[in-house]
């Protein structure tokens, strides 16, 4: 018998993402001059947009209401990471001359300090997750010359076969499909997980109303989230996608890069396997 779980809602996942974010200390040493310059440009741009489109009072009140709702639903982490984070990621990548593995957005559902797993491992999962098609994901973390980085950590997190992330939907074990894989002496890892499905961002709240209002869709392509770290090297936050998968060329979050698309080898038993290596730039 399957157990009845409370249905996950946008409000539920949103407020969890907001609560988690509020627990992180955030700080920026932005000068007053720089803050003023940015605020002024934001306000000027908003004013110009209002002028250009001759925004009505009804539209202004709808905007005000929507801003209030997105806060009350806790959906600022969701909306910002879906619609703005990719620009911030690009700016901060292009500012350097990185040549290692490409990054992508973190999204709202990262949780630090996932339990450590050995280089060869299976992701923590429930029996129902084991019924989904398995994905054997292996590779090596190296420096730019290809030398293996032993003891590097590969934090992996992704949605289950129903599209839910542990700690952001009810009834899922805390660290389900989350782990910190520690590479072996040669920097290698070899992990068994499940192949995630295309993912609908929560769309029964204000982020969904926003998308509906312009006739868009709330889908992201199936993806794995990763954070790769080794002392002395640039940390990489990235995502991996699947060649030929739905929405790979039409991601609501605009976070797909060609270098991050996996070409899976399909096995006869329905499982698939792939090798992906991470090359880390030296910390500058
Ligand atoms: C996700 O899983 C995600 O990766 C992003 C960027 C936004 C919402 C949900
Ligand atoms: Fe995600």
Is-contact 159 167, C-beta < 8 A?
A: no
- Please tell me the predicted confidence (pLDDT) of residue 8: 84
CATH code for the domain in which residue 261 is found: 2.60.130.10
Nearest bound ligand to CA 17?
A: 1
Q: How far is the CA of 165 from the centre of ligand 2 (A)?
A: 8
Q: Which domain holds residue 53?
A: 10-22+29-284
- Cα–Cα distance for residue pair 93/15, rounded to 1 Å: 30
Ligand 1: residue of 73, 74, 107, 210 to mutate (most ligand atoms within 8 A of CB) is: 107
CA torsion 25-16-91-262 (nearest 10°) is 130
* pLDDT tens for each residue of 202-261: 999 999 999 999 999 999 999 999 999 999 999 999 999 999 999 999 999 999 999 999
pLDDT band at 5 (very low <50, low <70, confident <90, very high): low
Phi, psi of 72 (to 5 degrees): -65, -35
Quote the DSSP letter at residue 161. Answer: T
Is 4 among the domain residues? no
Spacing, Cα 162 to ligand 1 middle (Å): 14
Mean pLDDT of 131-144: 97
240: helix, strand or coil: strand
The 10s digit of each residue's pLDDT in 76-107 is 999 999 999 999 999 999 999 999 999 999 99
Q: Is residue 139 part of a domain?
A: yes
Task: Report whether pLDDT(9) > 80.
Answer: yes
* Residue 3 maps to a domain: no
For atom 4 of ligand 1, the residue with the nearest CA is 107
Q: Are 236 and 280 in contact (CB under 8 A)?
A: yes
- Confidence class for position 7, pLDDT limits 50, 70, 90: confident
Residue 253 lies in a domain: yes
Residues 6+ away with beta carbon under 8 Å from 281 = 96, 98, 99, 100, 144, 233, 234
Q: Which residues place a Cβ less than 5 A from the ion ligand 2?
A: 107
Please indicate whether residue 252, judged by its CB atom, sits closer than 6 Å to ligand 1. no
107 CB under 6 A from ligand 1?
A: yes
Statement: residue 111 has pLDDT above 80: yes
- Domain membership of residue 69 (yes or no) is yes
User: What does the pLDDT read at residue 1?
Assistant: 42
- Confidence (pLDDT) at 25: 87
Residue 274: in which H helix or E strand, if any? Answer: strand 272-275
In contact, 189 and 138? CB cutoff 8 Å? yes
Taking only Cα atoms into account, the Rg of the chain, rounded to an integer number of angstroms, comes to: 20
Query: What whole-number percentage of the chain has pLDDT above 70?
Result: 98
Q: Ligand 1 centroid vs 109 CA: distance in angstroms?
A: 7
**Averaged pLDDT, 145-169:** 97
Does residue 5 fall inside a structural domain?
no
Ligand 1 center–CA 82 separation, angstroms: 6
Instruction: For ligand 1, say whether the CB of 105 is within 6 Å of any of its atoms.
Output: yes
- Whether 75 is in a domain gets the answer yes
Which pLDDT score is estimated for 258?
97
Span from the CA of 239 to the centroid of ligand 2 (angstroms): 8
Alpha helices in the chain (DSSP H): 10-22, 32-53, 57-72, 76-83, 85-94, 127-130, 206-213
In a domain, 2, yes or no: no
Asked if 183 and 150 touch (Cβ cutoff 8 Å), the reply is yes
The total number of structural domains that make up the chain? 1
């Amino acid at each position: 018998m399957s157990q009845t779980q409370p249905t996950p809602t946008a409000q539920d996942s949103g407020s969890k993402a907001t609560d988690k974010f509020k627990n992180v200390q955030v700080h920026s040493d932005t000068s007053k001059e720089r803050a003023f310059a940015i605020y002024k440009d934001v306000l000027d741009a908003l004013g110009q947009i209002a002028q250009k489109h001759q925004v009505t009072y009804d539209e202004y009140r709808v905007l005000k209401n929507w801003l209030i709702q997105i806060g009350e639903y806790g959906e600022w982490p969701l909306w910002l990471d879906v619609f703005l984070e990719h620009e911030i990621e690009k700016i901060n990548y292009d500012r350097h001359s990185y040549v290692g593995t490409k990054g992508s957005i973190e999204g709202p559902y990262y949780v630090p300090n996932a339990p450590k797993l050995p280089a060869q491992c299976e992701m923590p999962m429930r029996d129902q997750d084991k019924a989904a098609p398995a994905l054997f994901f292996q590779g090596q973390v190296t420096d730019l010359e290809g030398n293996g980085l032993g003891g590097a950590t590969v934090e992996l997190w992704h949605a289950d076969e129903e599209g839910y992330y542990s700690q952001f939907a009810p009834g899922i074990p805390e660290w389900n499909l989350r782990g910190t894989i520690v590479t072996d002496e040669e920097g290698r890892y070899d992990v068994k997980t499940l192949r995630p499905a295309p993912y609908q961002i929560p769309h029964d709240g204000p982020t969904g109303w926003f998308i509906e209002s312009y006739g868009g869709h709330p889908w992201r392509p199936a993806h794995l989230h990763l954070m790769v770290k080794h002392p002395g090297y640039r940390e990489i936050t990235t995502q991996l996608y699947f060649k030929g998968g739905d929405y790979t060329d039409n991601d609501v979050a605009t976070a797909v890069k060609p270098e991050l698309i996996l070409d899976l080898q399909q096995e006869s038993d329905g499982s698939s396997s792939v090798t992906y290596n991470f090359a880390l730039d030296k910390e500058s």
